[in-house]
A and B are shown apart, each in its own frame.
Chain A
Amino acid sequence: MLLPLAKLSCPAYQCFHALKIKKDYLPLCATRWSSTSVVPRITTHYTVCPRDKDKRWEGVNMERFAEEADVVIVGAGPAGLSAAIRLKQLATKQEKDIRVCLVEKAAQIGAHTLSGACLDPRGFEELFPDWKEKGAPLNTPVTEDRFGILTEKYRIPVPILPGLPMNNHGNYIVRLGHLVSWMGEQAESLGVEVYPGYAAAEVLFHEDGSVKGVATNDVGIQKDGAPKTTFERGLELHAKVTIFAEGCHGHLAKQLYKKFDLRANCEPQTYGIGLKEVGLDYQNPYLSPFREFQRWKHHPSIQPTLEGGKRIAYGARALNEGGLQSIPKLTFPGGLLIGCSPGFMNVPKIKGTHTAMKSGILAAESIFNQLTSENLQSKTTGLHVTEYEDNLKKSWVWKELYTVRNIRPSCHGILGVYGGMIYTGIFYWIFRGMEPWTLKHKGSDSDQLKPAKDCTPIEYPKPDGQISFDLLSSVALSGTNHEHDQPAHLTLKDDSIPVNRNLSIYDGPEQRFCPAGVYEFVPLEQGDGFRLQINAQNCVHCKTCDIKDPSQNINWVVPEGGGGPAYNGM
C-alpha cells in the first residue's frame, strides 16, 4: 500500500512513531498500562511487574543472606506444628541434633487460624499422649449432637446414628487458635525455631530443579512498587527438605503444582468458605456467602440460640471439600505437602484438623528416617521423601478418606443434598464406603458460575444489628490490618479483565464473594464505566478470590509478614 508522503510528516503519525520507540524503555508494567490506556493500573506487585527492568530499582542492593537448616516448614498451623514437634521429639529420643525452622506469616501463632472447631483427638493424641497433664486446651467434650435440614421456615431433624460421619462422640469443641498457640509453645520448648511475622514469599530451587528452600518476603516497598528507604531483602532459608503446610489453597503450593505437575492425576480441588459453611461451587454470581450467612442466623431454629448474644469476633477462610479425589502428588525433590494444603479434610465429618496433624506426624517420621539414615543416597540435592506418601496411603487417614470419598459428589445428582443423604445411608452406613466406584466432582469451582444474565439477583434482607450485621463492622472485628504503603498483594495477571470480563459477563462476583469487602467496582472519575478498586488492607487471607474468580485472573500472593487478621482463639 502506497502512503502519500504528506501522511508521514503529519503530527499524529510522528507521535505514534515516538510512542513506539518510547515503549522499549518504559518499565514493563507501564508498558502494559500505556498499551490499553483506558485501564487504570491496579497491580504493582513485583511478581507481576519485574524489578530488574524497572528504572526505580537501579542501584538498589538486591543481595540476600541465607541460613542453613535441616528442615524448613512453611506455615505454623496444626499440620506444620505437628511436623515440627514430631521431628524434635524423634531427635530428642534418638539423641540426634536437627535444626528445624518454622516460618509463619501471622504476627503470632494462632492469629490466622480459623476453624469450627470440633476436634477429633486421634491425631493430637499421637503427638501428645499426655496432653491432659500438659494442660492442652481441650476443655469441652461433646455431649450432644443434632443434625437437621433447614427449609425456609422449618427444620427437619435428621437422626445421627452411631457410625455416621457426623457423629461427634469422643470429640472436643476447641478454640483452634488457642490450641495452635499452645502447640507453638510446646514446639519452642522442644527447640524448634519458630518465626511468626515472616512470610515465605518465594520457593528457591537448586540447579537440578529440586527445592532448595524458601525466601521470606522483601519489606519496604511502596504501594506503587518503588523502593522505600527502609527496603530490605528477605532471608533465604535453605534446607534438605522443605515442608509446605500453608493451609487451604496456599500460594507457594500453587506454584509447586505447576512446576512439578503434581495435579496431573487428580481432580481439581473444590472448596467451601468457612463462615460456616457455604460451598463455593455455587452457580449464581449474585450470591454473597457473607449475606447468606447473615440470613441463616435469622432462621427460626437458629435465631433463639443467638438472641441476647454479642458479636465479638469474625473471620473467614476457605476449606477444601474435594476429598480423596482431589489430593495431588504429595512429594517432589526437596519438599513435600502436608495438611489442608493438599487437602485431607473429611467432608461429611467436616473435620480436617486430625488428618492434617497425622499428615504432619507421618511427614516428620519419614523425613527423620531419611535424614538420619547412614546410606543416604539422593539423586537430587534436595531430598525426595517418597516414603511419606507411601506411609500416608497405609495410614488411617487414607482409609478414612477412602470410605467417605463418594458422599460429597453424590450431592451433585438430581436429588441434590437429599440424594447425598440417601447415598450416605446406603453406601456409607451400611456398606462402609466399600463400593468399587469413585464418583467425580463437577469440575473446578471457578468454572461453575453462570453468566449474570442467566441468573436472578438475590434480594438480601438488611442486617438488624442484633443478630445479623453488615460486612465492614464484621471485618473490623477480625482485627485485620496491613501496612498500607505496600503493593497490593491481590495481584491481577491482566488489569483489564475485571471490568471487561468479570463485570460484563458475571456482574463482578468478586464484590460479593469476598468476605472482607476487598473488591469494589467504583465509577470512574471521568466518563462512564467502572474500575476495580482493591482495598488490600481489609484482606483476611481466606483465599476465596483466588479460588472463585471465573477468569482465574486474581493471584493471591503473600503480603509483608505480620499483616492479616488478628484472630484470638478462633
Chain B
Amino acid sequence: MAELRALVAVKRVIDFAVKIRVKPDRTGVVTDGVKHSMNPFCEIAVEEAVRLKEKKLVKEIIAVSCGPAQCQETIRTALAMGADRGIHVEVPAAEADRLGPLQVARVLAKLAEKEKVDLVLLGKQAIDDDCNQTGQMTAGFLDWPQGTFASQVTLEGDKVKVEREIDGGLETLRLKLPAVVTADLRLNEPRYATLPNIMGAGPKASASGNGSADVAPMEAGCRRLGQGQPCEPWPPVCRKPRRRRLR
C-alpha cells in the first residue's frame, strides 16, 4: 500500500536499574562490564515503527546506532522487535565519550537523506545524558518538520498527525512528510524481543566495521559535516528459520 520508509535511531545506554559509579579519575562513569541495554524511549520508538509496519503504512524499517562495537547488540534487539535492516555507525570506544547529540544528529541527517526515508523516529531523550536534543537537531539539519514528545502518531496519507505531551497538556500537530518524530513514554508498550526473533536476526557481525563516522569534537562545530561514512548495512534478515509449529 504505502511506500514509506522509516529510520529509527537507537542508543545503547547503561541499564536504568544499575547503580552508577563515578570513575576514580573523575573523567566519567564506569562503563566497563556494566550492564547496558537499549534506551527505553528508543524501544518505544522502535515499537511504534513496527506497529506502523504491521498496519502496512510503512514498508521498511531501518535501525541505526552510533557507537562502539557493542552497539550491534542494540541493533540486534531492534531487528528482533521487527526492524528490517540495521546500520551500525562505528565509533571507536576512545572517541565514543565525545559523541553527543550534535554529532549523532549530523549522522542521522546524512543517513536519512542517503536512505531516502520519509520518517525518522527517535526516543525523546536518552536516560544517560537526558539531553533531549538529538531529534530536534536532526530535524534542523534536514529542515524537516518535527513532532516531539509524541503520545500518539497517526499516518494520514502524506501527512502525519502527532499528539504531543506539552507542559500545558496535549497539543496536536499535523506535519507534512518527511518528518521527524520523537517518542514519549505513553506512546505504546514495547514488545519483548523473543528468542525466535533474536535467532532470526542473524549471527553477530564481527566487530570490524567498514568505515567510521568522523567524530568532530564539540569545538569544531559544523565544518566537519559531510565526512561521516557509515559502514555497510547489516546483513538482511534472510535466514530461513529451521523451526516447526507445534500443537
A235 within 8 A of B: yes
A506 at the interface (CB under 8 A from B): no
Point out the residues of chain B lying under 8 angstroms from A195, CB to CB: 195, 198-199
**Mask: chain A, 258-291; 1 = CB below 8 Å from B; 0 = not:** 0000000000000000000000000000000000
A28→B247 CA distance, assembly (Å) = 24
**Which of B18, B35, B243 is within 8 Å of A67, CB to CB?**
B243
Smallest CB–CB gap between B243 and chain A, Å?
Answer: 5
Which of A6-14, A58-66, A397-405 lines the interface with chain B?
Answer: A58-66
Q: B243: which A residues are within 8 A, CB to CB?
A: 65-68
Q: Flag if A67 contacts B192 (CB, 8 Å).
A: no
For residue B189, CB closer than 8 A to chain A, the reply is yes
Residues of B within 8 A of A568 (CB): 32-35
Residues in A505-541 with C-beta less than 8 Å from chain B: none
A323 is an interface residue with CB less than 8 A from chain B: no
In the complex, A63→B189 CA distance in Å? 23
Contact A235–B194 (Cβ < 8 Å): yes
Asked if A107 contacts B33 (CB within 8 A), the reply is no
Binding site for B on A (CB under 8 A): 62-68, 103, 107-108, 110-111, 177-178, 181, 188, 193, 195, 198, 216, 219-220, 228-230, 232, 234-236, 312, 476-477, 479-481, 566, 568-569
- Closest residue of chain A to B24 (Cβ to Cβ) is A310
Task: Identify the closest chain A residue to B191 (Cβ).
Answer: A230
List B contacts of A312 (CB < 8 A).
21
The answer to whether B15 touches A66 (Cβ under 8 A) is no
A residues near B247, Cβ cutoff 8 Å: 62-64
B198: A residues at CB distance < 8 A: 195, 198
Residues of A within 8 A of B196 (CB): 65, 67, 235
Q: Is the CB of A569 within 8 A of B245?
A: no
Contacts of A111 in B (CB 8 A): 35
- Given B21, B189, B194, B242, which contacts A219 in the complex, CB threshold below 8 Å? B194
Interface residues of B in 16-30 (CB under 8 A from A): 16-19, 21
Q: Which of A107, A198, A229 is the one whose CB lies under 8 Å from B15?
A: A107
Set A103, A188, A219, A236: member contacting B192, Cβ < 8 A: A219
The residues of A that contact B246 with a CB separation of less than 8 Å are: 63-66, 236
Residues of A within 8 Å of B32, CB to CB, are 568
Residues on A with C-beta less than 8 A from B229 are none
Given pairs A65-B243, A67-B242, A479-B19, 20 additional interface contacts (CB within 8 A): A62-B247, A64-B247, A65-B244, A66-B243, A66-B246, A67-B241, A68-B242, A107-B15, A177-B33, A216-B195, A230-B192, A477-B19, A479-B18, A480-B17, A481-B15, A481-B16, A566-B17, A566-B34, A568-B35, A569-B33
B37 at the interface (CB under 8 A from A): yes
Give A181's nearest chain B residue, CB to CB: B33
CB distance from B43 to the nearest CB of A (A): 12
> If the complex has contacts A110-B33, A177-B33, are A67 and B199 also in contact, measured as CB distance less than 8 A?
yes
B21 neighbours in A (Cβ, 8 Å): 312
Task: Check: B240 CB closer than 8 A to any chain A CB.
Answer: no
**Which residues in B have their C-beta under 8 angstroms from that of A480?**
17
Main DSSP-derived SS at the B contact region: loop
Where the two chains meet, the residues of B that have a C-beta atom closer than 8 Å to any C-beta of A are: 15-19, 21, 32-35, 37, 189-192, 194-196, 198-199, 204, 241-247
Interchain CB contact under 8 A, B194 and A566: no
A476 touches B245 (CB 8 A): no
User: Given that A111-B35, A177-B33, A230-B189 are known contacts, is A566 also in contact with B15, CB under 8 Å in the complex?
Assistant: yes
A188 to B204, CA, bound (A): 9
A108 to chain B: which residues have CB within 8 Å? 35
Known: A63-B247, A67-B243, A479-B19. A232 touches B34 (CB 8 A): no
CA distance A468 to B216 in the complex (A): 46
CB of A66 within 8 A of CB of B244, answer: yes
Closest to B35 in A: A566
Q: How far is the CA of A107 from the CA of B70 in the complex (A)?
A: 14
Which B residue's beta carbon lies closest to that of A560? B192
Chain A nearest CB, measured from B15 CB (Å): 6
Decide if B33 touches A220 in the complex (CB within 8 Å): no
* Residues from chain B with Cβ under 8 Å of A66 in the complex: 243-244, 246
Q: What are 26 sample pairs from A and B whose C-beta atoms fall under 8 A apart?
A: A63-B246, A63-B247, A64-B246, A64-B247, A65-B245, A67-B196, A67-B199, A67-B241, A110-B33, A177-B33, A195-B195, A195-B199, A216-B195, A219-B192, A232-B191, A234-B195, A476-B19, A477-B19, A479-B15, A479-B18, A479-B19, A481-B15, A481-B17, A566-B15, A568-B32, A568-B33
B194 close to A232 (CB less than 8 A): yes
Docked Cα-Cα span, A349 to B83, in Å, equals 51
Judge whether A229 and B189 touch: CB under 8 Å: yes
Which residues from chain B contact A188 at a C-beta distance below 8 Å?
A: 204
B192 to A, closest residue via Cβ? A219
User: How far in angstroms is the closest Cβ of chain B from A321?
Assistant: 29
Q: Which residues from chain B contact A63 at a C-beta distance below 8 Å? A: 245-247
Q: Which of B17, B241, B245 contacts A479 (CB 8 A)?
A: B17
Measured CA separation A368–B192 after assembly (Å) = 35
Name the distance in Å between A530's Cβ and chain B's nearest Cβ: 29
Q: Which residues of A contact B199 (CB under 8 A)?
A: 67, 193, 195, 235
User: Known: A63-B247, A67-B243, A107-B37. Contact between A235 and B195, CB under 8 A?
Assistant: yes
A476 to B19, CA, bound (A): 7
CA of A350 to CA of B194, assembled, Å = 38
Q: How far is the CA of A64 from the CA of B194 in the complex (A)?
A: 12
> When A and B form their complex, which 6 residue pairs have the shortest distance between CB atoms, in order from nearest?
A481-B17, A566-B35, A235-B195, A219-B192, A479-B18, A568-B33
